[in-house]
Structure 1
Amino acid sequence: MKKTPHSLKRLLISSAAVAASLQFLTGCVTHAPERISDQSTQAVLWLQNSGEYQALCYQAFNAAKDAVDQAKASQTKPWAVVVDLDETMLDNSPYAAWLLHNQDSYASATWAAWCEAAEAPALPGALEFAKYVIAQGGALFYVSNRSDEVFDATVKNLQALGFPEPTASRVFLKTDTSNKQARFQKVTDAGYEIVLMIGDNLNDFPEIGTWHQANEPRNQATASYQSEFGQRFIVLPNPSYGDWEAGMADGYHGLSAAEKLKLRSESLKPWSGE
């Protein structure tokens, strides 16, 4: 059968696409760890350099102040605000940048070393908001999934930045589970009404019920609580990491770097080009 110029063009395009795919897959296997690391570069650059990120932080804490003002007016018992720490009150992008410069990935040992250094700066607007809660007569609880082994260093970091009341009765770190429900219960058991929660991860809001859930039910839960965001739940932006990543597949953290790259590519929702 005679091939027309049009059919030859399509054949050449198809061949090029196959070759590109094979090259991509080969590169994924050969340089997968480096590619995994490099994929985080843009997110960390945005966190550390963009005015837009700062604006979103200020916007979140401004909304949080308004939410406090509305909530406290109807309270007849002691009230509290519960905040996450990492990427909510504390900025860990220097650790993320260190990983990138060293072409390394997250590890508990290097993360612990970063926490022990007690050098995390505060997010824009975080310290002012923390002081605002206290000034309005509320209590502030810091509920984080940092390991309890770095409790002293975490308190030192918070104290150095001027955050109010970073004590053992206010700072609840992880001891056995990343599910924060029991630690939130400690706040209510102490007689406080939780009027506001602030975090960068849906799991920072236990009542939503997204802990260890895949992304589809996480997104469904988010939609079902849509009226509460900006009122009861305040979310800080974090494109660097989060439970949404593990939510892409069962056993995500056990995948090889090449398998993660393949899954990430397959999880994209591209334009058809038509």
Structure 2
Amino acid sequence: MANQSKQYNLKNPKGKTYWLKFSVICAILVILYTVAFLFTDLTYRGSGASTGEMIRRMFFDPFFDPVHRENIPENIGYMFETLAIAFAGTLVGAILGIPVGFLAAQNVTGSFSFFGKSILNAIRAFPEIMFAIIFVAAVGFGPYAGVLAISINSIGMLGKLYSEVVESIDMEIVQTLKMTGANKIQVLWYGILPQVIPEFSSYALYRFEIDVRASSILGLVGAGGIGAPLILASQQRNWEEVGVILMIVIVTVTIIDLISTNIRKRIV
């Protein structure tokens, strides 16, 4: 049979409708930026210290001042407390985010996924610092409030990512298991979990990196960690101490990022 050439009716992707939408979006952006610049106070009031002096006091003087070098072990201890808060919060969020993620997956729960998505949207509407303020008022000052704040926020973010992973699985494997007579537990164990566990683990590790950064500022409201001495030093204009704390945070986050990236490459 002779090959017949096929003709495709390709529409011009950049027709009048495209350029109309593009123009409207550009006009809206211009208006928004104009309003933002007109109604935002951009007045520079200056500071008593120059930029060069601030950098010198924060990142050079601490190495030559024995008083601030003596505080390094104490600040490292606060950093370990921050890591513990982030790890505990991420662990709880990674575990509890799994059932919520499955509930929000449309290919698993159907129309009931609306309830799961609503829960996740409600959680993600608030930042960690807001949850920290609430839990500090509820359970008092300390790392426990920080763990609760990180846990709740991690459930919202990981649950959303988990649901998207579940919705992208190969449903043919699931249907094949059902046709062979597998029950729901067997379908979950052999058909769904092997497809989602690698990405679940990767997202949990990535979330841990984010939670370390978030835990570093929760001490600002009394939720434990290195944020408390950081805000105290900044309020006292003790820039040498601020520099020591910032360098500890930067080094710790960098090490965690390198380790986490290496692990994620091996998992996925």
TM-score, scaled to structure 2:
0.25
Higher helix share: 2
Higher strand share: 1
TM-score, scaled to structure 1:
0.25
